[in-house]
Amino acid sequence: MGISVRELLRVNTAPYGELGLDNPDFTDAQRIDAILLHPIRMNRPVVVTPLGTALCRLSEKALDILPDAQKGAFTKEDGECVVDKDGKRLV
């Protein structure tokens, strides 16, 4: 993905601060252990396709690594339409 373990962490909700994950002395291994113990700490979704792997925190980022173009409508969780019914990307 080309990002660090720290970039995979969600920092805006508990238990990020309570676990001390903002401590610069924490190793990547310690951060991974924290993710395994508290999966809510990991940003998601992480999408894996033959074209690559990406943290698709904005869900439309997944469209960039799909092996085939989106063929129908794609609407985000908040109701925003990203691809129309004909597969034309709007955003």
pTM exceeds cut of 0.75: no
Distance, CA of 83 to CA of 64 (rounded, Å) = 12
* Residues 84, 72 contacting (CB under 8 angstroms): no
Q: Residue 56 is which amino acid?
A: C
Task: Inform me whether the pLDDT recorded for 14 exceeds 80.
Answer: no
Tokens representing 85 are 């019914």
pLDDT class of 46 with cuts at 50, 70, 90:
very high
Task: Inform me whether the pLDDT recorded for 13 exceeds 80.
Answer: no
Mean pLDDT of 19-44: 89
For the chain, the average pLDDT equals 90
Angle, CA 21 vertex, CA 15 and CA 25 arms, to 5° = 160
